[in-house]
């Protein structure tokens, strides 16, 4: 990208314009952060199958001149992604074996997940679906009617999860039509949306979006994904408060990442900031072992020690559940 807009113009842009302005070039991102890409272990090769994408607002939460910034570490393609780690593969949680038809994952009793899109506003380098075959398995408009029939026919399903990619990249109109179809299925009690956009592109949480969610007759739950307190900008806080003011339950899930948040004080600060702005710290995931992510891995024993330390520092409701997901499991496995 080139010639970034000044801050006031950037804030005034809608979320689609902000998405279009996202960094897609390593040199541009490093230059914006007052860093030299020549002094960092960056890898253009790592972007060939999994491109760089970072919204300007998320970059603004990083400390300029700091090559070890925890937010930068989450998004900067580096040479370590090309290292082969034992036990890491392209489908670490068994998604492909859980897809009865295009765009539908049915792993756990009572819940079904829809892969609404393969796109995200930000490409997190630790993503467990970074190698997912979205071209074949995302929910196209044509496949949507088949997915709805599947949900209608399986009366034990009480909750539908909108996922991706990131489902909030769908337009309000498309989301509204999806919610309308789910409203018509009597045995559905809840609709859950998993999204990183309230964190990395908070302008997406507009009044029009809120009104779209309020059209649903089902209980709405939004699960956001935030790994570090520095990600929670003034815009993110405004998005949180808008959601809560409109009766939408908001949970957070994080991923435990080496060099990002593998510290009890850092995780505690995240829980405190989330809860003070109406968000419940719910899950802390062990890393899903996707190819290209091994350098982020934190040993399970170290993770257990971190949670134990958090319990000594925080009230229980601020300590997220430590979990991991295993292919073929009947649910996420609680570790601590």
CATH for 96-334, options being 3.40.50.300, 3.30.360.10, 3.20.20.70, 3.90.1150.10: 3.20.20.70
Distance CA 210, CA 197 (A): 14
pLDDT at 12: 56
pLDDT at 8: 45
Q: Which helix (H) or strand (E) covers residue 245, if one does?
A: helix 234-245
Q: What is the pLDDT of residues 282-318, one digit of tens each?
A: 999 999 999 999 999 999 999 999 999 999 999 999 9
CB-hemisphere CA count at 13 Å for 207?
0
- Once rounded to an integer, what is the mean pLDDT over residues 3-15? 55
pLDDT at 151: 98
Where exactly does CATH 3.20.20.70 map onto the chain? 96-334
Distance CA 21, CA 54 (A): 9
Q: What is the pLDDT of residues 85-121, one digit of tens each?
A: 999 999 999 999 999 999 999 999 999 999 999 999 9
pTM, two decimal places: 0.94
Q: What is the pLDDT of residues 231-253, one digit of tens each?
A: 999 999 999 999 999 999 999 99
pLDDT at 326: 87
Please report, rounded to a whole number, the percentage of residues in the chain having pLDDT higher than 70. 96
pLDDT at 231: 98
pLDDT at 35: 98
Distance CA 76, CA 42 (A): 7
User: β-strand 321-324 against 333-334: which pairing, if any?
Assistant: antiparallel
Q: What is the pLDDT of residues 147-181, one digit of tens each?
A: 999 999 999 999 999 999 999 999 999 999 999 99
- The token pair at 59 is 């970059």
Q: Single out the residue of 36, 205, 196 nearest to residue 129, CA to CA.
A: 196
Could you give the maximum distance between any two Cα atoms of the chain, in Å? 58
Distance CA 5, CA 9 (A): 6
CB 61 within 8 A of CB 231: yes
pLDDT at 209: 97
């Amino acid at each position: 990208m080139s010639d970034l807009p000044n801050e006031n113009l950037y804030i005034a842009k809608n979320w689609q314009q902000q998405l279009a302005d996202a960094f897609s070039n390593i040199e541009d991102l490093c230059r914006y952060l007052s860093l030299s890409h020549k002094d960092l272990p960056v890898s253009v090769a790592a972007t060939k199958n999994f491109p760089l994408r970072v919204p300007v607002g998320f970059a603004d939460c990083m400390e300029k001149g700091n090559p070890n910034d925890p937010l930068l570490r989450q998004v900067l393609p580096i040479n370590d992604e090309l290292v082969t780690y034992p036990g890491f593969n392209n489908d670490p949680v068994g998604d492909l074996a859980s897809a009865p038809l295009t765009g539908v994952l049915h792993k756990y009793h009572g819940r079904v997940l829809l892969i609404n899109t393969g796109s995200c506003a930000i490409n997190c380098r630790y993503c467990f679906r970074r190698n997912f075959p979205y071209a074949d398995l995302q929910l196209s408009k044509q496949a949507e009617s088949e997915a709805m029939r599947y949900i209608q026919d399986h009366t034990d399903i009480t909750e539908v999860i909108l996922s991706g990619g990131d489902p909030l990249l769908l337009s309000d109109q498309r989301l509204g039509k999806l919610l309308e179809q789910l409203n018509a299925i009597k045995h559905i009690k809840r609709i859950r949306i998993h999204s990183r956009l309230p964190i990395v592109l908070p302008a997406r949480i507009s009044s029009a979006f809120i009104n779209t969610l309020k059209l649903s007759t089902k209980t709405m739950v939004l699960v956001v994904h935030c790994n570090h307190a520095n990600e929670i900008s003034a815009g993110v806080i405004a998005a949180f408060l808008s959601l809560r003011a409109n009766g939408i339950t908001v949970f957070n899930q994080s991923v435990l990442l080496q060099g990002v948040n593998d510290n009890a004080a850092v995780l505690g600060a995240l829980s405190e900031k989330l809860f003070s702005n109406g968000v419940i710290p719910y899950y802390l995931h062990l890393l899903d072992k996707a190819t290209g992510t091994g350098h982020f891995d934190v040993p399970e024993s170290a993770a257990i020690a971190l949670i134990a330390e958090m319990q000594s520092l925080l009230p229980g409701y601020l300590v997220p559940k430590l979990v991991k997901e295993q292919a073929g499991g009947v649910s996420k496995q609680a570790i601590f």
